[in-house]
Amino acid sequence: MASTREIRRRIRSVKNTAQITKAMQMVAASKMRR
């Protein structure tokens, strides 16, 4: 059974990676438009 602290940390890291991937997609889309 994982502790709530570890779960919160894992969720936070997943959200951070999701934001990074979204930013990467935005940059790729802007490059494709050019």
pLDDT digits 0-9 by tens, 1-13: 679 999 999 999 9
Report the pLDDT averaged over residues 20-31: 94
HSE value, Cβ hemisphere, 13 Å, CA-based, for 5: 0
Question: What pTM was computed for the model?
Answer: 0.60
Helical residues (DSSP H) of the chain, grouped into ranges: 4-33
Structure tokens at 22: 């979204």
What is the reported pLDDT for 1?
66
